[in-house]
Amino acid sequence: MGLTCGIVGLPNVGKSTLFSAISSNKAEAANYPFCTIEPNVGVVTVPDERLDVLAEFVKPQRILPTVIEFTDIAGLVKGASTGAGLGNKFLANIREVDAIIHVVRCFEDENIVHVEGRVNPVSDKEIIDMELQLKDLDSVDKKIAKSERAAKAGDAKAKAEVAALQQFKAALETGRSARSVQMDDDLRKTAIGDLFLLTDKPVIYVANVDESALAEGGNQYVDQLRENVAIENAEVIVVCAAIEAEIAEIEDLDERQIFLEEYGLKESGLSKLIKSSYALLNLITYFTAGVQEVRAWTIQKGWKAPQAAGVIHTDFERGFIRAEVIKFADYQTYKSELACKEAGKMSVEGKDYVVIDGDIMHFRFNV
C-alpha cells in the first residue's frame, strides 16, 4: 500500500532538518532498505522488532519490512490559501498525502530567525490551520451551491448532503478543522468524500525542541501546544531535529544505542514518529515467513483475509481459498511453523476472517 505522510510547518521551524534526518535514517537496522525517490520524498521502513524475532527462527535469505513515505512540503506563509508564497503548490501537495505531520517550533535560538519574529507554537499552528481551513471553506461553499440546486428540486439525498455540508461550513467558519465534526461515516463520505478536505486529514504534531528541553521531556512551549491540541485528541511527539539528524548518521546500532542513552532515550524520536504515523493511518502489519524471505505487509485495520492476500498479488484475492494463520505470540513460543502446527496453534480461516496485527499468514488460492 502506498501511503504518504506530508511534513508541514512554517519556515525555520526545523521541518527540513527533520526530513533530512528521515532521509538519512537507516531505520534501526543496517539490512533494512531505504531509498529517496526525489529530493523531497523519502521512503523509510517502519521499525518492527517482530521481524527480527521471526528472522531469528526462520533464518531467511532476506528480511523485508513494511514502509511508509514522507514528503517534505514547501514552507507555508500567511495568505497561502489565496496563493501567497508557494501557497498553491503547498496546498496541492497536502491534498495528495494521507496524513499530516505538523512540525512546530518549540525552541529559542537568536541565530535562527522566526518568520513571525517570535516563538509562539500555538500561533504558528493556528496560522497553518487558518490557511487550510480557508481553502476547505471555499471547497465546501462551492459544493453547497451545487447541492442546493438539486435540493430545491426536491432531491432528498441532496437535502441531507446540504445539511451535512452546513455542519462542516459552521466548523470551518469558527476556526475548527473538518476532522472535529462528528458524523456518521456514510454521510460524511457522501458529503465531503470527493472534496479531499485538507483539515479532514489525520494529524500528528511534532514539537521541535532544543537539547535541554529534550532531556527534560519538553518545555513551556510544548505544554502550550499540548493544551491547544487537546480538543483534537491529537498526539504530540517531542523531538530535537538537530539531534535526530546526528542519530541518523550513526550506522552502527550499538553506537546509536549508546548515543540515545546519553540523552536518556530508549528510542529515537524518528522511530516514535514513524510508528505513530503508521498507527495514525489505521494500519496494521501481518507477516509471511519462509526460507526465501520474512516480510511485513501493510493493510488497513479491519480488512478480511482475501483483502490482505490481495496486497501480495491480486490473484491471491481473486482465487482465495483459505488462510493458514499463526499468532505471533505462538510463533515466538514454539519457534517454528511445524511446531505451531503440531501444537494446534495454526488455524485455518475463510473469507470472513478479520486479520489481526501480527498474524503470520500463508494463503491458499487457485486461479
Binding-site residues for ATP: 12-17
Query: How many angstroms separate the CA atoms of 216 and 125, rounded?
Result: 23
- Which of helix, strand or coil describes residue 96? coil
Query: How many angstroms separate the CA atoms of 43 and 4, rounded?
Result: 9
DSSP codes of every residue in 139-205: HHHHHHHHHHHHHHTT-HHHHHHHHHHHHHHHHHHTT--GGG----HHHHHHHHTTT--GGGS-EEE
**Residue 194 has which C-alpha cell?**
470527493
325-334: burial string, b at 16+ Cβ within 10 Å, e else: bbbbebbeeb
Q: What is the DSSP letter of 353?
A: P
Query: How many angstroms separate the CA atoms of 257 and 254, rounded?
Result: 5
With contact defined as beta carbons under 8 Å apart, do 264 and 55 qualify?
no
Binding site, by residue number, is 12-17
CA dihedral 340, 343, 345, 348 (to 10 degrees): 100
Angle formed at CA 248 by CA 92 and CA 4, multiple of 5 degrees? 25
Nearest Cα neighbor of 342 from 353, 330, 354, 355 is: 330
With contact defined as beta carbons under 8 Å apart, do 300 and 283 qualify?
yes
Question: At which residue does the C-alpha cell 502550550 appear?
Answer: 224
Query: How many angstroms separate the CA atoms of 39 and 233, rounded?
Result: 32
**Residue 296 has which C-alpha cell?**
511485513
- Write the CA distances from 335 to 184, 342, 358, integer angstroms: 44, 12, 15
